[in-house]
Structure 1
Amino acid sequence: MTMPNGNGNGNGALNGAVVAVAGAAGPAGRATLLRLAEAGATVVAADADATRLAEAVDAARYAHGGATVIGDTVDLLDLDAAREWATRTEKEFGRLDGVVHLVGGWRGSASFAETDLADWELLEKLLIRTVQHTTLAFQDALQRSDRGRYVLISAAGASKPTAGNAAYAASKAAAEAWTLALGDAFRKAAKAEGAAAPTSAAVILVVKALVHEAMRAERPNAKFAGFTDVTELAEAIAAIWERPAEEVNGTRQWLTEKP
């Protein structure tokens, strides 16, 4: 993965960009808000947890004085609400250059036979439905951008499911397929317009799992082998804008060893 050319001075490909971050209140979201704000982007963050979202937004604003970082409580399980969020954001800022999908969730079981299909019902909403709604809501705006990016964070388990993670792996695999279909839509739209290459891209960043400071503090002796630190993930997300859309569109970018 190529790291961003920018050094935090707002002169890189994200300077002046408008980026929406879905699922922004967790550790990965906080790191991403900080990195995008540092790169000079206007960041519109959304999460179901209004209190944690406000804390994440305030932290990004405080770290980067003058940065425009706003929070929105959006029900991404409601397609109309997602579309209204996209329309409102583009209208307010005049453009929309990216969506980073960080909505997560995990459920597992001790064995395949013990899989609880209630876990699938939950994960289908969190990991698939929110991807469907954000892609459908933001596609047109991203296609209008000269640097549109849709970035999905996925898991290595989608490519090599384990017995106890059937529901989770299947949900992630479905989300990946949906995102790759968006990438094909970007490619076909560019071709239909007679463009030499698309200016928008749908990209999947694959991790084994994520780790952050609080996890390390709780388990100081743990190795977290193969895990991606949330700050490294944020760097990888920002790097997507530094590469040509044609190069990254419809690709999986591995941040951990392939299974």
Structure 2
Amino acid sequence: MLQGHLFKQWLLISILIITHFHSVSYLTERSIITPTNRNVTELNSHMLALLPGQPQTYFSSDTLHTDSTDPNRLEAEYPTEFLNNLSFNGCPEHQIDLKIFAPIMLLRNLNPEIGLCNGTMLMVVYLGHYVIKGIIMGGAFDGKTVAIPRIVLNINDCRWPFILKRRQFPVRLCYAMTINKSQGQTLQSVGVYLPKPVFSHGQLYVVVSRVRSPAGLRFLIVNEDGIPSNYTRNIVYQEAFADIQPHVPHE
């Protein structure tokens, strides 16, 4: 019964995307919000598959930066295939699949004077070999067509003993976004996908605050067995209430 309800929800989403996939105003006011980057990737891939046409795939060029300690030894220990599989918060993936009319989010400040800032959302209108063109969705530059080039990103992550040099388009699909990335957004309709409880204090408050009215808020909560549920756990630091004195009204 519940699994059938889940299927109907995804079917409804599919119909809406197929109907409005080319509408800037429709996509500007809607998003799916979920806790982790892994969930975001899964949802974005699913939504992209609903669009007509074949995707254009872009692969990054990954090398070790010359400032890395002992780069010759590191190149032997960490081959290119290994570097391609690395993912980092706020950085583009090695493989990016895009289609015309897909919504994307810019991951770097390129040219704030023309609206190309970190977090800017665009609809793709042209996919070339060396440049992507998109229409800015929302904000002061709403409707402006801009070009996005490949850039070189130097990624220094404490988990690895090297600096990664990745040449790629600084974009990511944004049908879905993480709770952290959604901060500052105010939308008409928000779908919250929680395959597990949020993992940090205040995150549930952040996600329900992204929508203008309760009528535009929908939750899909999934329990450990993959079955939709009607409740989730809210993470609260009880220490925050330790020194609060109860109010006692005067007689």
TM norm structure 2: 0.25
Please say which structure displays the higher CA radius of gyration: 2
- Which structure carries more helix by proportion? 1
Q: Which has the higher strand share?
A: 2
